[in-house]
Structure 1
Amino acid sequence: MANPPHGGVLKDLIARDAPRRKELAVEAEKLPAIVLNERQLCDLELILNGGFSPLEGFMNQKDYDGVVDNNRLADGNLFSIPICLDLDKATIDESGIKPGARVTLRDFRDDRNLAIITVDDVYQPDKHKEAKEVFGADDEAHPAVKYLHHTAGEYYVGGKVDAIDRLMHYDYVALRYSPAELRLHFDKLGWSRVVAFQTRNPMHRAHRELTVRAARARQANVLIHPVVGLTKPGDIDHFTRVRVYQALLPRYPNGMAVLGLLPLAMRMGGPREAIWHAIIRKNHGATHFIVGRDHAGPGKNSQGQDFYGPYDAQDAVEKYRDELGIEVVPFQQMTYLPDTDEYKPKDELEKGIRTSDISGTELRSRLRTGREIPEWFSYPEVVRVLRESHPPRNKQGFTVFLTGYQNSGKDAIARALNVTLNQQGGRSVSLLLGETVRSELSSELGFSKDDRNKNIMRIGFVASELTRAGAAVIAAPIAPFESSRRYARETVEKFGSFYLVHVSTPLEYCEKTDRRGIYAKARRGEIKGFTGVDDPYEAPTKADLVVNLEQSNVRTAVHQIVLLLEAEGLLDQL
């Protein structure tokens, strides 16, 4: 029999409210509605299906205070992470949210009504205290703390929810087990002991060896239970990771492992998160849980030190072991022994034994450059999936963003670079000239600072999507403000490389060589808000390349850009 859920009863609200679903759906249409964001949807899904048992809704202030202060709900049950419906004051006022009110919770993706919350209370949390107590420090280098202060609403709304419908997913539907479904699956297979493995990264041979050893030592089976909700910024997308897990699954002996996806929004909360993960896996029927070294750690703090100690998470779960009712399995660091072609835990090796390892940094480098990834490290079918999602540098998309005054030569450089890259081939090339974008994408915008920033934001968005698709993007707006150029860089760099080229041709030279007479019109006041005349230009201080067409020419400038791209491995060698 599977492990009993946390708190003794699985709070499967979808099943509980099934007889009233039609009635609730009718009521929901008449109520004020809140549209939930992605993180709130992840939380709601695990409230509705029982993954967060014993929760039956978003935490009211008593539950929240108990969790923040001492890992306890108001009824005494262990729970380590606040699950809160955060809203801003405007939303609360517009929706008439107050104690006793019933409010519809709606999916932002398709406007479907998912649940109704009966409001217990509306309260303003002490976010600085929450950061210190839950995440260990009020340091915005921690992604959850940054989210808390800059994204989460200033008020929390607590209350139980009634389920109208489950969230709709269109990917890997067969792998999205609710806790009740997974427990039934284990029962069908006859599994009574299940080791759950938490991951938000691809798995390789060492992970397979680790989980097989853990299961065999406990006469158990393996639940590979990756997070496919929100993880750490910069993590590999879940589509790639799930394909990796599917490729790896046949490598387990005799049907030892099952793959199930967890729609969790991680907080990267280290020790507190590990306790939370153990509760969630217990609710899904696991009897054992592998807790990794620096489990759910977010990396370095603002002083360059790790937020949590390497074994803090393991110690936290072990502290509550009896109450959790789930056995902690410490994550063993596995290493490859080339002389015997096997993996063994590092702490079991005799001195002098020859070992081989490939770090995460080295793996990313090999993927980026196309170098061999040996079979002793990862299975060929796994490497094939990773290479499809991570092509070598000379096949990756990138953006060259040229900025400078009107008539500085940036458009001529952009056109010439477009011809050069198209001549070389290997990827599609897209040209986004300032005037073209203005007429085709931003025709309704003027030239105020806000409108200029909106224009650059649009260019950044288009460039990022093309970069993600593997294209070479050449953008050449004036882009006079540092803030909007920085936004464009941050947007593109989510998907590929971004190079800022400052075409620093002096204003006097741009004006002197202006055959179209645009500067003359601006000087006469016929054109208002003209950069360099009656509107400022903030020259970049950290451009990747600076070119000046008063001192050089278009051909030389293009060659400098090509050399930069070639040095970065983005072009085949000239």
Structure 2
Amino acid sequence: MIQSNFSAIPELYVSGETVKEHQERAAQLLSWDLTRRQLCDLELLMNGGFHPLKGFLARNDYDGVVENMRLADGTLWPMPITLDVSERFAATLEEGQEIALRDQEGVILATMSVTDKWTPDKTREAEKVFGADDVAHPGVNYLHNEAGKVYLGGPVTGIEAPAHYDFKAHRYTPNELRMMFHKLGWKRIVAFQTRNPLHRAHQELTFRAAKEVQANLLIHPTVGMTKPGDVDHFTRVRCYEAVLDKYPAATTTMSLLNVAMRMGGPREALWHGIIRRNHGCTHFIVGRDHAGPGKNSQGQDFYGPYEAQELFKTHEAEMGIEMVPFKHLVYVQERVQYEPADEIEEGATVLNISGTELRRRLREGIELPEWFSFPEVVRELRRTSPPRAQQGFTVFFTGLSGAGKSTIANALRVKLMELGSRPVTLLDGDTVRKNLSSQLGFSREHRDVNVRRIGFVASEITKNGGIAICAPIAPYAATRRAVREDVENHGAFIEVHVATSLEECERRDRKGLYKLAREGKIEEFTGISDPYEIPQTPELRIHTEGPDVDDCAQQVILKLGSLGLISG
């Protein structure tokens, strides 16, 4: 039987007497600006959340983790923790060199001794770690389309922890939680991982788990990076605070975990278990499809519903934390209670609201019954998820040069301004290049930067309740997906493929660009010497060789109306 005991987890910070000296030396080093995911990883490396890791994985440790979930010394560790960087930055480094690691504001958080530098086989990593090399998986998409091409490995020495200005009363390091448990006299602690708001089924699940193993409860939600499109952590934490009052104060506490999820299913369940062990927990709840990313490109689940539980059970003794398995709970009307879905007799009235149905009800302002959620939670969700006709959104036109994107986008802008429901901003490709990206060329890298800038501005407009209309060429599917994910954190994203043929675009070409491209006088021209990746599942596809501009814009208006984004 596992019991918690107060013994500090090793942290990777420089000692207090030499912090200033270390900071001064670090300021002279070549530095890398950490991405959001890398910031999450570094924080847990430094505070012991990723114990026994002492830094980003060296190559031999990385190979062992990818192949068989073990570090080079045989220690169980299921998830690669790597510092991915650009080829340009990697080319300036030699193995054995020390670098500084900075946050987005330029603050030096740590130094790293680069012991290894290599170009990984990302296809192999995807297949081994996530079970498939399918970019429908957010972890695989990150590998291929977001992460740098080169990995650096080596130990880190922390100088200061990343700054958090939100919900400070709920942020505890592993050692702070262990000390709290020790002071409270808690010997058995069961942790509950969540990336969603808590509803009544979650409360019932956690009540049952704590009762089953006679343990105190730690609600330990992820507030780092979760699945694109999830409810933002500010809203979720307010929901958690509202629900916390429903638990006996002497038996339950909450702490926020700044981890970047990979949505890695079974492997991620092991990883989450090890992290909770490091925070002083003795038990960990693993539910149905733990950390599952949803459907693959063929429309099938990436992982089996209880695959994570099976893998966890195999390794729980070695990890030093016990699993509390739970199945999907649904509400039985006759008995006015939640029960496991696969244990209910035929004929019973089962009530359940899926995540999709919850979002629909919030979007359309439909009532949520009290058996499903708490009024306090519903109020918080409605504050940040008003009916769709009151939310900001982005319409993103994509197509070849000369397809008619700008013309249709401008007509749409006028029609939406006529409705007058929200401010409307047109982000035309040429206009953005002139005002935001004048220093950029037309290489693939620069075109990606330009589209990402458009996406950033669109996401800010969407977040603040406005309508953004974007009309770049945006030839690459991965970049369009990244923009979609940025926008969908705040509102709806409607991709419109203006599917004008290459022949028609050349016929319309008033600037003579296609002619120059065919003569080799313009390099990397989309459709001629550089590919245009046709959207596979846009919300709307418009053919312009026939309908006039007004009709094309009206097609978009009708689509927006069918999605509930505009009314009247």
TM-score, structure 1 as length reference: 0.82
Equivalent in the alignment of 1:386: 381
Letter of the structure 2 residue corresponding to residue 394 of structure 1: A
The one of 267, 273, 276 equivalent to 2:271 is 276
Equivalent in the alignment of 1:515: none
1:220 aligns to 2:215 (yes or no): yes
1:341 aligns to 2:336 (yes or no): yes
Query: Aligned-pair distance for 1:294?
Result: 1.8
Letter of the structure 2 residue corresponding to residue 104 of structure 1: A
Equivalent in the alignment of 1:544: 540
Equivalent in the alignment of 2:15: 17
The one of 101, 107, 117 equivalent to 1:105 is 101
Letter of the structure 2 residue corresponding to residue 471 of structure 1: G
CA distance in 1, matches of 2:443, 2:68: 52
Query: Aligned-pair distance for 1:171?
Result: 2.0
Query: Aligned-pair distance for 1:51?
Result: 0.5
Query: Aligned-pair distance for 1:547?
Result: 8.0
CA distance in 2, matches of 1:406, 1:13: 52
- Give CA-to-partner distance per residue, 1:423-477, whole Å, 9 cap, x none: 53432233456776566556667999998887666544433321232212345x5
Letter of the structure 2 residue corresponding to residue 76 of structure 1: G
- Give CA-to-partner distance per residue, 1:22-80, whole Å, 9 cap, x none: 22212212333232222222111111001011222222233333333433333333222
- Give CA-to-partner distance per residue, 1:364-397, whole Å, 9 cap, x none: 1111211111111011111111122222121122
CA distance in 1, matches of 2:144, 2:543: 40
Structure 2, unmatched stretches of 5+, are: none
Structure 1, unmatched stretches of 5+, are: 513-517
C-alpha contact 2:4 2:186 (8 A) present in aligned 1: no
The one of 317, 327, 331 equivalent to 1:322 is 317
Equivalent in the alignment of 1:42: 40
- Distance verdict in 2 for CA 1:172–1:529, change over 3 Å: farther
- Distance verdict in 2 for CA 1:370–1:71, change over 3 Å: same
Equivalent in the alignment of 2:4: 3
The one of 293, 296, 315 equivalent to 1:298 is 293
1:439-458 map, 5 Å: 440-441=435-436, 458=453
Query: Aligned-pair distance for 1:198?
Result: 0.8
C-alpha contact 1:114 1:165 (8 A) present in aligned 2: yes
Query: Aligned-pair distance for 1:565?
Result: 2.5
Letter of the structure 2 residue corresponding to residue 491 of structure 1: V
- Percent identical among aligned pairs is 50
Query: Aligned-pair distance for 1:410?
Result: 8.0
CA distance in 2, matches of 1:233, 1:451: 24
Equivalent in the alignment of 2:493: 497
Letter of the structure 1 residue corresponding to residue 276 of structure 2: R
Aligned length: 552
CA distance in 2, matches of 1:154, 1:383: 43
- Distance verdict in 2 for CA 1:124–1:358, change over 3 Å: same
Equivalent in the alignment of 2:308: 313
Query: Aligned-pair distance for 1:349?
Result: 3.6
Instruction: Name the Cα RMSD after superposition.
Output: 4.0
SS at match of 1:137: coil
C-alpha contact 2:499 2:543 (8 A) present in aligned 1: yes
SS at match of 1:253: coil
Query: Aligned-pair distance for 1:220?
Result: 1.6
1:156 aligns to 2:151 (yes or no): yes
Letter of the structure 2 residue corresponding to residue 39 of structure 1: R
C-alpha contact 2:497 2:541 (8 A) present in aligned 1: yes
C-alpha contact 2:451 2:474 (8 A) present in aligned 1: no
Of 497-506 and 427-436, deviating more is 497-506
Equivalent in the alignment of 1:367: 362
- Give CA-to-partner distance per residue, 1:190-222, whole Å, 9 cap, x none: 322111001112221000010011112222221
C-alpha contact 2:284 2:324 (8 A) present in aligned 1: yes
Equivalent in the alignment of 2:245: 250
Equivalent in the alignment of 1:77: 75
Letter of the structure 2 residue corresponding to residue 98 of structure 1: E
